[in-house]
Amino acid sequence: MLQIDLWKRLCIWGVVALGLLLALPNAFYPRVERYNDAVASIEAGNAETPEIAQGLAQWPDWMPSALVNLGLDLRGGAHLLAEVKVADVYQARVEGMWPEVRDLLREERDRIGPIRLQSTENAELRVRLVDRPEMASEAASLVRGLARPVTSLTGAGASDIDVSAEAGEIVLRLSEAEQLATDDRTVRQALEIIRRRIDEVGTREPTIQRQGADRILIQVPGVGSAAELKQIIGTTAQLTFQPVVSRTSNADERAGAGNEVLPSLDEEGVYYILERAPVVTGEELVDAQPDFDQNGRPAVSFRFNPTGARKFGDYTAENIGNPFAIVLDSEVISAPVIQSHIPGGSGIITGNFNVEESTNLAVLLRAGALPAGLEFLEERTVGPELGADSIEAGKIACIVAFALVLVFMFASYGIFGVFANIALIINVGLIFGLLSMIGATLTLPGIAGIVLTIGMAVDANVLVFERIREEMTSAKGPARAIELGYEKAMSAIVDANITTFLTAVILYAIGSGPVRGFAITLGLGIITSVFTALFVTRLIAVIWFERRRPKTVLSGRSLRLVPKDTSWDFFKRWKMSLGVSAVLIVVALGSFGLQGLNFGIDFKGGTTIRTQSAEPVDIGIYRGAMDGLELGDISITEVFDPTFGPDQNVAMVRIQAQDDQESVSAEMVQTVEDALQVAVPDVKFTSVESVGPKVSGELIQTAVIAVILAIGAVLIYIWMRFEWQFAVGAVVALVHDVVLTIGVFSEMQIQFDLAIIAALLTIVGYSLNDTVVVFDRVRENLRKYKQKPMNEVLNLSINETLSRTVMTSVTTLLALLALYFLGGDVIRGFVFAMIWGVIVGTYSSIFVASSVLRWLGVKRDWSKPDANAGNQFANIDA
């Protein structure tokens, strides 16, 4: 019977209500954002001001207030990918052990004789035994006593140093286990310090997260440029207090082993020879505040933790009358003479500061010293104007796509189309509710993912509705037809969506930034689409049926893209269809081999500057402005888009990194911008992106791995759910689609960037969706018609699913076409790949995958139970 228990109905509506309630704040984004800012200000300990009170009044405190974070491409801001130079820390660690080693061996001087620290360029400490080199092994044994256990789970039981004797010298190095532990600690410390420094600036919703073993991703909305963000986090602010050996005016003077020569910050031409091992470091600071010295000049007061206070106090007590240097980032701020014992661990740093400089220095010292240098592998700046345009374009595209799909579904399925439309609206609400709940970031490709979901969400409904139409011809009444429609469509829905979900998981695991954002929205969209199609639409249909009790369903006049009953022979010219595919593949591979792909900076490395001006773009003027800058390979292209106004003239300037450089420097980017500003006075720079060759090379490798993994995962899943012949047919169709898509990008020289990889993987998922639906019907018909030849079973299955295939393709294309024409030029290449993928995916599921299956044949093992009989999903009521 067609019925759903009351408790199930309450659960379904409860989930819907909760999801929509979580999504509701996004409909009042500015108000809720002001409310959240006011709450955060109060939690930070600030007094309630009229502005904060006004912010709190913007939104009820009992309502959910979590929002979907807007990515940089929608809000504007700066993006950096930094690599922490973890190896730099090894040298500092071993040098810091010299005082301990020296004091230990001096106590044994009678036995081992005098010692001398040796210079070395490696991360090691070398101590030579001057008179008794034969005692090196015994001295090394003594130094091993300084070893401590490694403080990490992976290094349990290991020592932090390796000590050996080599040719009369003691060699001390960090152990491999300690290096790994040090790497982890260094990146964690750098991550925390970067977070503190950005929090000091007070930016909203920064994203600071570890990426891989030694990289940190930093995205900060609202920051003017990547250069500005680098200034905030890139200053190391490493404070040390070091003993002074002597003062000199010669920068090249030999310092001696264990010493270094550093310049004075205030006195030009003055240098200090200092002991390299510091007495105390900035890591032991607990506070630093702007202050004034006894003469009223700006200064910085500081306070050490108990460990630092003890070391600082002991040193000052033992070295009264001797100078010591206060060093900040390898420059001597001052070198006062110790007048007396300084207990308590507090003091003051004086220098040639103004008030602003002393305040900035205090902020940097409070945030802590970066434990190692940072190499910026990737930089992106998105102007707020471009972000606002992207949001507007995305909104318009979503609304138009939504309207087209709603009208199309109503025209095709009448009242059942209305049910699907209600479920579709709920579906989008649930996506935003889930995104808000997990605090996800919505990017422009993420909007594309939602628009794609709008197109694909109707697929499950189309499968069910088409099945109900079929069952109406044989079932006893509409109630039984609806029940069987949901039961028999379940297997195809589950298989099709799991395969697409697998590609979303791979995208999330391997991708980064916007690609990962796209994967999140696609994955969540699949979950919500299945829920709304199988539970919400069904519940609405049951409620309607209980009230109306119609004699028939889905049998009236409606829009049909495919005739009601078709018996087309799709294999009459199967050799020709495979031959056409083979020719297209050869052409695609030939084009790829001859001219390759037009790689974007994601894969080539370099810098792209996006400009906008009221004046028409004159490429000659742009190129002339940069001719004397010796930039090497430059390409300048004008961007045309129907959504641009008459005063929106956009150009893309791409600068290839020089052979001897990691990337285009920030200074060079500024020089280019200044030159263009002179040539075109009203020009604006709406975005700047820089990617180093190191990252670009890794991205190519990652992209290839992602595609291979996606195809491999699909092969395994279909093999498990069907038979190996089905898996081979599906994979051949996938490779066919991917190769043809890459071929089109090669032939037309459309820019190929990281977002296109996301599109390729989505094509893999979409193509599978189509193929699995056909294969599911083939499997069902093989058991239903045991004596029919394979050729006839395949033809029958394709004809039976043809209406669904065409309907799904058209609804998806409607959404994608809206996005292509109205979504802005930033994601046009991405959307083009999707449109092409839908077309070739539909073709390959009918002609390629099925032809391969026909050629391979399927062993009909009738001892196996019916794949659909007793299906674990088949008897779910709602």
Q: What is the pLDDT of residues 572-607, one digit of tens each?
A: 877 788 888 889 999 999 999 988 888 877 777 778
Around Cβ 692, how many Cβ atoms within 10 Å? 23
Distance CA 346, CA 308 (A): 10
Contact between residue 429 and residue 423 where contact means Cβ atoms under 8 Å apart = no
Q: How confident is the model at residue 872 (pLDDT cuts 50, 70, 90)?
A: very low
Q: Which of 122, 129, 75, 55 is nearest to 95 (CA)?
A: 122
At a CB cut-off of 8 Å and minimum separation 6, what does 512 contact? 211, 217
Q: Which of 376, 352, 46, 384 is nearest to 232 (CA)?
A: 376
Buried b (16+ CB within 10 A) or exposed e, 385-423: ebbebbbebbebbbebbbebbbebbbebbbbbbebbbeb
Give the up-direction half-sphere exposure of residue 23: CA atoms within 13 A in the CB hemisphere: 17
What per-residue confidence (pLDDT) applies to 873?
A: 35
Residue 537 in this model has a pLDDT that exceeds 60 = yes
Whole-number average pLDDT of the chain: 81
Question: Which of 668-672, 710-714, 821-825 is most confident?
Answer: 668-672
Q: What tokens appear for 79 in the block?
A: 């993006």
> DSSP 3-state assignment of 826?
helix
Work out the average pLDDT over 243-247.
89
CA dihedral of residues 354, 357, 363, 368 (deg, nearest 10): -120
Distance CA 627, CA 387 (A): 31
∠ CA 719-722-723, nearest 5°, is: 65
Buried b (16+ CB within 10 A) or exposed e, 714-741: bbebbbebbbebbbbbbbbbbbbbbbbb
Q: Label each residue of 374-410 as H, E or C.
A: EEEEEEEEECHHHHHHHHHHHHHHHHHHHHHHHHHHH
Around Cβ 457, how many Cβ atoms within 10 Å? 28
Buried b (16+ CB within 10 A) or exposed e, 553-582: bbbeeeeeeeeeeeeeebbeebeebbeebe
**Tell me, what amino acid is at 846?**
I
**Tell me, what amino acid is at 16?**
V
∠ CA 261-262-266, nearest 5°, is: 145
**Region of poorest pLDDT, from 92-106, 349-363, 551-565:** 349-363
Work out the average pLDDT over 544-561.
81
Q: What pTM does this model have?
A: 0.70
What per-residue confidence (pLDDT) applies to 426?
A: 93
Q: What is the pLDDT of residues 791-823, one digit of tens each?
A: 888 899 999 888 888 888 888 888 888 878 887
838: enclosing H helix or E strand: helix 828-843
Residue 16 in this model has a pLDDT that exceeds 70 = yes
What per-residue confidence (pLDDT) applies to 201?
A: 64
Give, in order, the Cα–Cα distances in Å from 80 to each of 218, 265, 660, 690. 5, 30, 22, 9
User: Which single residue is written with the structure tokens 């939104």?
Assistant: 59
**Burial group, residue 825, by CB count within 10 angstroms (0-12, 13-18, 19+):** middle
Two domains, one topology: 574-598+696-856 and 606-691 = no
Contact between residue 481 and residue 466 where contact means Cβ atoms under 8 Å apart = no
Q: Which of 530, 523, 560, 510 is nearest to 459 (CA)?
A: 530
Residue 327 in this model has a pLDDT that exceeds 70 = yes
Whether CATH 3.40.50.720 fits 606-691: no
To the nearest whole percent, how much of the chain has pLDDT over 70?
89
**Burial group, residue 428, by CB count within 10 angstroms (0-12, 13-18, 19+):** buried
CATH number of 86-179: 3.30.1360
Read off φ and ψ for residue 244, nearest 5 degrees.
Answer: -95, 130
CA 80 to chain centre: 12
Q: Which of 208, 350, 481, 394 is nearest to 830 (CA)?
A: 394
Q: What is the pLDDT of residues 430-473, one digit of tens each?
A: 999 999 998 888 876 777 677 767 766 777 888 888 888 888 87
Full strand arrangement of the beta sheet holding 374-382: 207-211, 215-221, 77-84, 374-382, 684-691, 606-613, 649-655, 634-639
Q: Which of 731, 725, 729 is nearest to 711 (CA)?
A: 731
User: Which single residue is written with the structure tokens 């674990």?
Assistant: 872
Q: How confident is the model at residue 702 (pLDDT cuts 50, 70, 90)?
A: confident
747: enclosing H helix or E strand: helix 724-748
**Region of poorest pLDDT, from 34-48, 267-281, 432-446, 655-669:** 655-669
Around Cβ 119, how many Cβ atoms within 10 Å? 10
Which CATH architecture does the domain made up of 574-598+696-856 adopt? Up-down Bundle (1.20)
Read off φ and ψ for residue 164, nearest 5 degrees.
Answer: -140, 165
Distance CA 735, CA 739 (A): 6
Work out the average pLDDT over 48-54.
85
User: Which single residue is written with the structure tokens 């790949």?
Assistant: 833
Q: What is the pLDDT of residues 413-426, one digit of tens each?
A: 888 989 989 998 99
Distance CA 584, CA 740 (A): 7
At a CB cut-off of 8 Å and minimum separation 6, what does 254 contact? none
Q: What is the pLDDT of residues 743-782, one digit of tens each?
A: 998 998 888 877 777 777 777 777 777 788 888 888 888 8
Around Cβ 73, how many Cβ atoms within 10 Å? 27
> DSSP 3-state assignment of 637?
strand
Q: What tokens appear for 798 in the block?
A: 């394709």
Residue scoring higher pLDDT (65 or 181): 65
What per-residue confidence (pLDDT) applies to 869?
A: 41
Read off φ and ψ for residue 64, nearest 5 degrees.
Answer: -60, 145
**Tell me, what amino acid is at 642?**
P
Query: Beta 169-174 vs 125-129: how paired, if at all?
Result: antiparallel
CATH number of 239-369: 3.30.1360.200
Distance CA 666, CA 148 (A): 43
What does the radius of gyration of the chain's CA atoms come to, in whole angstroms?
34
Work out the average pLDDT over 705-720.
79
- Domain definitions of the chain by residue range: 1-67, 86-179, 239-369, 574-598+696-856, 606-691
